[in-house]
Amino acid sequence: MTPNYLLGIDVSTTGSKLLLVDASGLVVAVVTQPHSIATPRPLWSEQDPGEWWQAVRTGIRQALKQAGISGSQVIGVGLTGQMHGLTLLDKRGQVLRPAILWNDQRTGAECDQIRERVGARRLIEITGNDALTGFTAPKILWVRSHEPEIYRKICHILLPKDYIRYRLTGEFATDCADAAGTILLNLKERIWSDEILRALEIPRTWLPTVYEGTQITGRISRQAAEETGLAAGTPVVGGGGDQAAQAVGVGAVQPGVVALTLGTSGVVFATVAQPFIEPQGRLHAFCHAVPGRWHLMGVMLSAAGSLRWYRDTFSPGQSFEELLQPAERIPPGSEGLLFLPYLTGERTPYPDPMARGAFVGLTVRHTKAHCSRSVLEGVAFGLRDGFELIRSAGLDTVQQVRVSGGGSKSRLWQQILADVLATELVTVNTTEGAAFGAAMLAGVGAGMWPDVDAACTEMICLTGSVAPDPASVRLYEPYYNLYRRLYPSLADIQHELNF
């Protein structure tokens, strides 16, 4: 019998990852095609959707070649990718302007406009979220205000991965998890909110059909088959936004299992069995990629990104391992040195695009090793902010924390996180994150497993753990309390520095 394979596609900010998985969960091919990012003005962040498609179609062919299989052996395709990006198409399906990305910060005035039109409290009640600059809805209003000639031509609005779906299948579709990040979705009903759309004067006809993450949304078209090497008719499932797919990829699909992602951004992700909305909107409340489930999420914008900035700025060319080895000898708290990791603004717990980073407490006795450890600790404190919000929202039953992402490769950082969070961290056998989760969702849609829970049971197992050190837990507590005072103390100065 010819073996079957699943294809997971992750359209991230920095590149498109193509992942082929066999029925046992073995990854047989991984290909990444890079994307370029344009910053035409300060605080702006854009990409060419055509570049995404070029990366994906080239990457699929390379992945098939790497695995030594034909496109006809792929029985399902799952999609994931960067959330919140605005991709605009005209009536012919042509892209109208570069996509405005999740980390674009131009829409502060539009966020205020949304709160005024909908009502701040009502917006959170319906969508589960406050209006933040990264979300999709304020980007739509920005185009209406600043590019009216483009706005008049809009016929379709898609999220980044859903543009790839359109190019693969010809269908305008999305999934519940990614759609929730637009703040145009009724979170509880998992459908577009007519009330929000009316208030913002956005035509519902512009929006794609919403599916669950495991549902088939379309099939590979003849044209896409010719361009990619996949077989025409291969099903493409809903998939999910990157964090929801990442959670599937590490098995964080049941209440009580928390996913901690230490990537460029840092994410604390808690699955819930019903829509659970934090009243002040300080936590994101989204639909899960798992049908009938939701999740709460705290997001810090510069997690491992803070360490990369630090390394590239002060130790260019040095490996992360070499950089962090001396930091192992520095005691918890870095002898009174604190790092505030708001290098690109912040979302949780302070939705402030003008927030800035800082080292606080520097003295002549502090060395480079102190600074290195302080960066790791500052990110850990920032992630704890998300955990504290989840606990304060009433979800205090955390049975397990599963850590993943590039930063989690550092054993020192794992230990600091365990000590700061005062909880055990575990790792799993899957390391390909969101793309792997997308492939698993495709497997459910293709009938390989009856549901996501069954897929996770079969595909994912624990590989290691890091327990908190009681002495370090006690030492970190006063430092965390000082860290929490930094942003309120510095916010006014930071805002004045944004000339």
364 and 397 housed in the same domain: yes
How wide is the angle at C-alpha 407 spanned by C-alphas 405 and 369, nearest 5°?
175
How much is the pLDDT for 396? 63
Comparing CA positions, the residue from 312, 296, 47 lying closest to residue 160 is 47
Are 163 and 289 within one domain?
Answer: no
pLDDT band, residue 499 (cuts 50/70/90): low
Note if the pTM is more than 0.75. yes
Residue type (1 letter), 459: M
282 shares its domain with 412: yes
Mean pLDDT of 261-288: 88
Which of 21-35, 179-193, 359-373 shows the lowest mean pLDDT across its residues? 21-35
If asked whether residues 75 and 39 sit together in one domain, one would say: yes
- Provide the 10 A C-beta neighbour count for residue 365: 9
pLDDT classification of 275: cutoffs 50, 70, 90:
confident
Are 318 and 443 members of one domain? yes
Query: Where on the phi/psi map is residue 20: left (φ > 0), alpha (ψ -120 to 50), or beta?
Result: beta
Q: Are 339 and 299 in contact (CB under 8 A)?
A: no
Residue 425 forms part of a structural domain:
yes
Which of 242, 352, 385, 419 is an active site residue?
Answer: 242
Q: Is residue 81 part of a domain?
A: yes
At residue 371 the predicted structure's pLDDT band, cuts being 50, 70 and 90, is very high
DSSP 311-326: HHHHSTT--HHHHHGG
Backbone angles phi, psi at 185, to 5 degrees: -100, 140
- Does some domain include residue 246? no
Q: What Rg value do the Cα atoms of the chain yield, rounded?
A: 22
Dmax (CA) of the chain: 69
**Residue 375 belongs to a domain with what CATH number?**
3.30.420.40
| Burial grade of 389 (CB within 10 A; 0-12, 13-18, 19 or more) | buried
Indicate whether 132 and 274 sit together in one domain.
no
Same domain, 176 and 277: no
* Averaged pLDDT, 370-392: 95
Residue 245 lies in a domain: no
End-to-end alpha carbon distance in the chain: 66
Residue with tokens 């319906």: 126
Does the active-site annotation cover 194?
no
Q: Looking at the structure, do residues 163 and 259 belong to the same domain, yes or no?
A: no
- Confirm whether 470 is domain-assigned: yes
Residues 46 and 195 grouped into a single domain: yes
Of 187, 214, 238, the last residue of a domain is 238
And the tokens for 335?
């002898």
Sequence-separated (6 or more) residues with CB below 8 Å from residue 405 = 261, 262, 263, 303, 304, 433
What Å distances lie between residue 462 and 70, 74, 324, 400, 402, CA to CA? 32, 28, 26, 11, 9
Q: Is residue 424 part of a domain?
A: yes
Question: Are 220 and 259 part of one and the same domain?
Answer: no
Determine the average pLDDT of the residues in 240-247: 94
Residue from 99, 242, 125, 103 nearest 183 by CA: 125
Provide the percentage of residues in the chain whose pLDDT is more than 90.
85
Q: Is residue 229 part of a domain?
A: yes
Domain end call among 195, 211, 238: 238
Whether 243 is covered by a domain: the verdict is no
Helix axes 433-445, 452-459, angle to 10 degrees: 130
Tell me how many domains the chain contains.
2
Q: How confident is the model at residue 376 (pLDDT cuts 50, 70, 90)?
A: very high
By residue range, what is the domain housing residue 281?
251-499
Q: Show which of 205, 238, 271 is a domain's final residue.
A: 238
Assess whether 80 and 221 both reside in one domain: yes
Please check whether residues 233 and 297 belong to one and the same domain: no
**Helix, strand, or coil (residue 259):** strand
